């Protein structure tokens, strides 16, 4: 019975996700589902993208958190359209939440929408929200074992960011093992090593993202 209930939930979600995807595609909106553990740097990466691309790109953000509006308030102060979704304990965003949030955003055609999902490496990967790209952010302090423990997250990624590279000299992080774990699951997703604090690697990543948005 529990399996049937979960299947019904996912089926309903997938139908709404398909509607979201069609909406984004028809308007050439690149919707990026940003998924990561708490503290890995989801908001920091989005802020660096905003800083590099500027308002003229038409960036909008949906912020997902269990509680609070701390990150949304930070983005709002930059003059970027943002909607906060508080799940009240829910561990992920779903397609219905995104569909409702989009109604409160005046999305422009040929623009970028960042969906900052709730911070964890389990539930978000199971729920399609209609995104164009799935961006997974890992960070050096989390350790190199994450691809081995959270396989579905890295398997579904369209791009993988390894953040906080400036901490590499101080952390026992086996980069070879990290890459090996990812390549066993996903050979297509590019991996970018960056540091939001120092700017390391950001130029290459931002150029890749710009190319993806241009192709959409």
pTM to 2 decimals? Answer: 0.94
Quick one: residue 195, left, alpha or beta (phi over 0 = left, psi -120 to 50 = alpha)?
beta
The pLDDT tens digits of the residues spanning 182-200 come to: 999 999 999 999 999 999 9
φ/ψ of residue 85, rounded to 5: -115, 115
Say whether pLDDT at 7 is over 80: no
The pLDDT tens digits of the residues spanning 137-150 come to: 999 999 999 999 99
- Measured CA to CA, the distance from residue 106 to residue 115 in angstroms comes to 15
For the chain, the first-to-last Cα distance in angstroms comes to 41
Name the CATH superfamily for 2-215. Answer: P-loop containing nucleotide triphosphate hydrolases (3.40.50.300)
Tokens at 194, concatenated: 């960056």
Q: What is the per-residue pLDDT for 3?
A: 45
Domain boundaries, given as residue ranges, for the chain? 2-215
Say whether pLDDT at 155 is over 90: yes
CA quadruple 34, 38, 41, 42: dihedral, nearest 10: 20
- Measured CA to CA, the distance from residue 99 to residue 93 in angstroms comes to 11
* Least confidently predicted of 54-63, 99-108, 168-177: 54-63
- Measured CA to CA, the distance from residue 129 to residue 151 in angstroms comes to 19
Over residues 11-26, the mean pLDDT reads 96
């Amino acid at each position: 019975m529990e399996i049937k209930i979960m299947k019904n939930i996912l089926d309903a979600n997938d139908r709404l996700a398909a509607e979201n995807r069609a909406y984004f595609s028809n308007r050439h909106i690149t919707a990026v589902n940003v998924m990561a553990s708490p503290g890995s740097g989801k908001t920091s990466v989005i802020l660096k993208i905003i800083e590099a691309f500027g308002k003229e790109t038409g960036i909008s953000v949906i912020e997902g958190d269990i509680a609070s509006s701390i990150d949304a308030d930070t983005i709002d102060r930059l003059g970027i359209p943002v909607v906060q979704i508080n799940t009240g304990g829910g561990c992920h965003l779903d397609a219905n939440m995104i569909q409702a949030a989009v109604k409160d955003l005046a999305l422009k055609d040929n623009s970028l929408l960042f969906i900052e999902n709730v911070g964890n490496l389990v539930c978000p990967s199971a729920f399609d929200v209609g995104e164009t790209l799935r961006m997974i952010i890992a960070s050096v302090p989390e350790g190199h074992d994450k691809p081995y423990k959270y396989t579905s997250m890295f398997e579904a990624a369209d791009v993988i960011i390894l953040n906080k590279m400036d901490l590499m000299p101080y952390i026992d992080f086996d980069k070879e093992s990290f890459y090996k774990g990812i390549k066993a699951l996903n050979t297509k997703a590019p991996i970018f090593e960056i540091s939001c604090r120092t700017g390391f690697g950001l130029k290459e990543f931002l150029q890749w993202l710009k190319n993806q948005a241009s192709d959409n």
